Amino acid sequence: MGYAPRRQEDVPAVMDAYCEALANVKIEGLDLLAEDHAFCLLLVETDIPVDVAIGLAQEYNRDVVARQKIAA
């Protein structure tokens, strides 16, 4: 993807975004599956920069919400 690895001091910001995403999904009355948590944690483990990780997490969570609303 052509980016420099994330700095370790940025990990808390990524985890904050992950926790915020979890809270937003719960506000919607939906639950994340184990695979959803795994995807979000993968963003942390791969050293993707914060701005890229947040964008990917937001896009993924929109897909989760859409998928669960369709199934309901």
Secondary structure percentages of the chain, helix, strand, coil, to 5 = 75, 0, 25
Global pTM reads: 0.57
Burial environment of residue 39 by CB neighbours within 10 A (0 to 12, 13 to 18, 19 or more): middle
Q: Per-residue confidence of the chain (72 residues) as pLDDT tens digits?
A: 677 777 788 778 777 877 887 787 788 777 777 887 888 788 778 877 778 877 887 888 788 778 877 876
Question: At a CB cut-off of 8 Å and minimum separation 6, what does 3 contact?
Answer: 48, 49, 52
Quote the radius of gyration of the chain (alpha carbons, Å): 13
Structure tokens at 21: 């995403």
